[in-house]
Amino acid sequence: MEHLLLDVANRANRYVVGLPERSVAPSLEAIEQLRLLDVPLQDEPIEPSRVLAELDEIGSPATVATTGGRYFGFVVGGSLPAAMAANMLAGVWDQNAARILSPVAASLEDVCIRWLISLFGLPANAGAGFVTGATMANLSGLAAARHALLAQQGWDVEARGLFGAPPITVLVGEEVHVSLLKALSMLGLGRDRVVRVPVDGQGRMRSDVLPKISSPTVVCIQAGNVNTGAFDPAGEICRTAKASGAWVHVDGAFGLWALSSPRRAYLAEGVQDADSWATDGHKWLNVPQDSGIALVREPEHLRAAMTATAAYLIEGEGREPSHYVPEMSRRARGVEIWAALRSLGRLGLAELVERTCRYASQFAGGLQAAGYEILNDVVLNQVLVSFGSPDLTRRVIQRVQEEGICWLGGTEWQGHVAMRISVSSWATTEEDVQRSLEVILRIAEEEAGA
């Protein structure tokens, strides 16, 4: 065992040390080599060290270097050193995050909830569940909403289901994230029966055209649009919605972290007035996959939606982690969140948010200076750029990805094909941004002249 653990530590170290020099996207050859893992399952056991060697030698080259400094795709954070190390230790602990199975996992979740409430300025009695990502955090927050709204109508949705239940109206912005629609569909609230509220040019829900709210309603707003980084006007929407008895849910997968930076917090002004919030640890907080958090103003609604009891499930003193999430057994996600926050502190987190936003502006400035159109107001860590025609933009994206110095994706934004740049990693440096800009600009010029 000792040899194996030292071996894995060495291999992990080699992987991390090699990140700056390797291609961000794996080579075709590395992907092709993955067939070597696809062997007929043998009869006899194999030495663990050999299994590890196969995984590392064949698997590591076929990873995408998302923990390096030049991955700007989707909204994917890296892995802070403390969080990465905590993740390795937690892997060795192999804890099931139930209080009776892991006092440390349950206690760390308690601490993280208090820290997050304080960082985001949420109500002191809010509760939370630690889930796989923002999709499940959206699902959990909306399950709490469904419970509360129907309970007010005298309907126990957990016991009776939705058949025959009073209808719930769901309002979303036109630029709602697809994961929120998926969550609604899983909850029986339907992805197509939502009322879509028009948005402005940045994707912000227009509070001036919010429909009149009368029946039980959940209003789903966004803190951080996945394309533009824009925030719905939470303060105004909460005021109107709450006056009509609606539940307001915030999808703040990455944007909620703006609250931790005094210079960006204004963007999320008013989100604290909502009833539930979904966010991710594995995006801007830079903890390893998979880590999402559902926060709810009145935790009894989340608990009512998620709890399960049985005679053999012993309940100890204190908050029981599994009563606030869909899963019964799961890993101890609070460990990495605790480690990340403990290592950064308030100032370190604010600086991480601020620094990545500054790098997004550096990208936008460099691209604009070269004559390319920036399609969004760069208020956060997201940049949308067009290189001219849709076809040209797509070719630039593809060649940048193939060259492997950096990785960025594409999108369509309100009818325009764009390259999306998301700066979310603690590991990104100013040099990484400069080097990536040079590559993008060179390729854009070559493609325009081709």
Ligand X SMILES: Cc1ncc(COP(=O)(O)O)c(C=O)c1O
The binding site for ligand X (CB under 6 A) comprises 74-75, 133-135, 177, 179, 222, 224, 226, 251, 253-254, 280, 292
Structure tokens at 391: 């076809």
Task: Pick between residue 280 and residue 447 the one whose CB is nearest to ligand X.
Answer: 280
Mention every residue, 6+ apart, whose C-beta is less than 8 A from residue 157: 146, 147, 150, 151, 165
Task: Pick between residue 76 and residue 437 the one whose CB is nearest to ligand X.
Answer: 76
Least gap, CB of 256 to ligand X (angstroms): 10
Q: What angle do CA 153, 159, 160 make, to 5 degrees?
A: 65
CB 171 within 8 A of CB 210: yes
Structure tokens at 40: 């007929």
Task: Pick between residue 68 and residue 292 the one whose CB is nearest to ligand X.
Answer: 292
Least gap, CB of 222 to ligand X (angstroms): 6
Task: Pick between residue 87 and residue 179 the one whose CB is nearest to ligand X.
Answer: 179
Least gap, CB of 179 to ligand X (angstroms): 4
Rg value, the chain, Cα = 23
Report CA 359 to chain centroid distance, whole Å.
Answer: 19
| Structure letter (DSSP) for residue 426 | T
Task: Pick between residue 126 and residue 180 the one whose CB is nearest to ligand X.
Answer: 180
Task: Pick between residue 135 and residue 322 the one whose CB is nearest to ligand X.
Answer: 135
Q: What is the chain's length?
A: 450
Least gap, CB of 214 to ligand X (angstroms): 28
Least gap, CB of 224 to ligand X (angstroms): 6
Task: Pick between residue 216 and residue 255 the one whose CB is nearest to ligand X.
Answer: 255
For 350, other C-beta atoms within 10 Å of its C-beta total 21
CB 346 within 8 A of CB 119: yes
CB 344 within 8 A of CB 352: yes
Residue type, 193: R
Residue with smallest beta-carbon separation from ligand X: 133
Least gap, CB of 258 to ligand X (angstroms): 12
Please, what's the largest Cα pairwise distance for the chain?
A: 72
Least gap, CB of 327 to ligand X (angstroms): 14
> How far, in Å, CA of 16 to CA of 147, rounded?
45
